[in-house]
Structure 1
């Protein structure tokens, strides 16, 4: 199947670069380039693209307003072209809330080196977007958090995700109560984006959410997000769990890697871990989840119907590493029900 792609960007140089990358791919067709939202709207109606690459900063109507209107009128897989800045992170996270599938950094046009790698990244993401499940922005507030009846420090919830994961993690965390067991999270994101993401989650969740710090003690009622471009490793010190941040090679193609976090938890916490693998492209986390299951931990996976991309959960299921496969909206309550059943009242 040929993937029809529409490029929307106010920069003529970016339109030219992305257009050339797409034209050179035999499985893609560049159906048009648009410099603003009005031209883009007409091209969407005319060509019905399979994937749209969209710049956030555009004249007349900004990318977020266009995206919001598009998702209401004609939901289409959208790949945001983002600047790797704090302002860019805020806008990109808002775009993901509105239904964009994923994002990629805006290329640096003055740097010839690395364009080949960038070209491959954007082609891979376009192919992924073409097969993704577009999810519209959720309206309204979530229900009251599920109840956690035990109090203790030895149980841990671990969450791994990639494409589509920012919104999936938000949905899971918003359903957890303030006295939840400690939560450690690895989401594939670049540096800087995880700082902004943690702040956004902290403002809407009952648990306290922060970007993880090296040497930090892991506490109940708190969620810790692995910083972009650093692995998060959990170790046991007496009765405590502590975080180590590692600037080492990529694992399973990623840094941070879900496998690094899951494997460390299998070794130091074993049966005290409840691991959750959510939507994402690739297979990162599957081997680590298998290790947690073998160590006696509980493992949950998001089902295909509610995933944006059913890659990481599918691989974990294929390995036999998953105890339960659930729709996204049921994961938090099942997690707490399992932890309540196991009993988490004994301090180590």
Structure 2
């Protein structure tokens, strides 16, 4: 049984959500909160497995509360809100799900089905979830030194400020780098279910909240013929293996003798993210250059477009997921606009393109 705290300033909506969630066999609402401060105390007291958060709340905006929650007390959070436009951004702030509140004319039965479907799809994360308090992040200290503007919005850090661009030092080897964000969890599962053994090493940066990357890597591993794991600092990259960036660290690739290994970086957010696709792509370009393949998949924002353009200019093979198959056509669109993409392909085709690249059929 997964325990839930519902956070919403509307008493009637709290009652509706409580009844709907309690009707799902694997879930139980153990408390309700009327605002962020009420929620903070109840989360500390009850340590729920999941919280639902409304965006429009008194005293503290739901998005601000979500960001603070992910920074100070990371845990699964689903946003349930009527603000669908703002709601699309909450995945980048750490939410694992978004459910729009019912629109005019929608039945409560339909709304209940959407809630049930979303929560049941999250059980793979909840099964392995154990609450971990993340260590203080470097960027929290640096914000006071100018990492935020006067409105408290984090400035974009260019990858040059974290990882220096330099010529490729070890050309001729193959590696596949993948970047994704909103919608990427299910998209990656679909791709990895079609991959076969005997592939070059694969490195993945998916924007994912702290504490969830290990369980997601295990899920990918269970669906694929190749071995998938959460990346650890110093790991030597091996063929037919894939490495997923941890949810609170940048991942880069560096040369180690005649091999490549993982280097994790606990630094500021880059392109507004940590882990950042730009950091991964920049490092792959530094070490492999034209021997690499870069894949940009569904996601919001522009993370990865800088690093992908450098790879493209260096002769790497680059593809982007097409708009029709993306949950959010943001990151792929920005990479295409930057002139960083050779081929635009559907989600169903990505695995085939990766396999063909490994066989030397695509350059």
- How many residue pairs match? The answer is 251
Alignment match, 1:237: 256
Q: CA deviation at 1:190?
A: 1.5
Alignment match, 1:126: 87
Q: Pairwise mapping of residues 211-290 of structure 1 onto structure 2 (< 5 A)? A: 211-290=230-309
Alignment match, 1:305: 324
Whole-Å separation in 2 of the counterparts to 1:267 and 1:207: 25
Q: Pairwise mapping of residues 184-199 of structure 1 onto structure 2 (< 5 A)? A: 184-199=203-218
Q: Is 2:22 the partner of 1:59? A: yes
For the 8 Å contact 1:10–1:34, the answer to whether it is kept is no
Alignment match, 2:312: 293
For the 8 Å contact 1:36–1:59, the answer to whether it is kept is no
Instruction: Could you list the structure 1 runs, at least 4 aligned residues long, displaced by more than 2 angstroms after superposition.
Output: 9-12, 34-40, 60-65, 104-107, 112-125, 127-131, 341-344
For the 8 Å contact 1:172–1:332, the answer to whether it is kept is yes
Q: CA deviation at 1:36?
A: 4.4
Change (3 A) 1:331 1:59: same
For the 8 Å contact 1:275–1:289, the answer to whether it is kept is yes
Whole-Å separation in 1 of the counterparts to 2:273 and 2:52: 16
Change (3 A) 1:241 1:11: closer
Gaps of 5+ in 1: 1-8, 21-31, 41-57, 66-82, 93-103, 138-152
Secondary structure of the 1:178 match is: coil
Alignment match, 1:179: 198
Find 1:15's aligned residue among 8, 12, 27: 8
Q: CA deviation at 1:343?
A: 8.8
Whole-Å separation in 1 of the counterparts to 2:274 and 2:174: 25
Alignment match, 2:64: 117
Whole-Å separation in 2 of the counterparts to 1:116 and 1:164: 19
Q: CA deviation at 1:264?
A: 0.5
Relative to the length of structure 1, the TM-score reads 0.63
For the 8 Å contact 1:279–1:311, the answer to whether it is kept is yes
Secondary structure of the 1:279 match is: coil
Gaps of 5+ in 2: 29-42, 69-78, 90-97, 101-113, 119-171
Relative to the length of structure 2, the TM-score reads 0.61
Secondary structure of the 1:172 match is: helix
Whole-Å separation in 2 of the counterparts to 1:212 and 1:166: 17
Q: Is 2:28 the partner of 1:35? A: no
Change (3 A) 1:11 1:64: closer
Q: Is 2:169 the partner of 1:169? A: no
Q: CA deviation at 1:118?
A: 2.9
Secondary structure of the 2:251 match is: strand
Q: CA deviation at 1:338?
A: 2.8
Whole-Å separation in 1 of the counterparts to 2:175 and 2:188: 16
Change (3 A) 1:170 1:119: closer
Q: CA deviation at 1:238?
A: 2.7
Secondary structure of the 2:224 match is: coil
Q: Pairwise mapping of residues 100-111 of structure 1 onto structure 2 (< 5 A)? A: none
Q: CA deviation at 1:87?
A: 9.4
Secondary structure of the 2:23 match is: coil
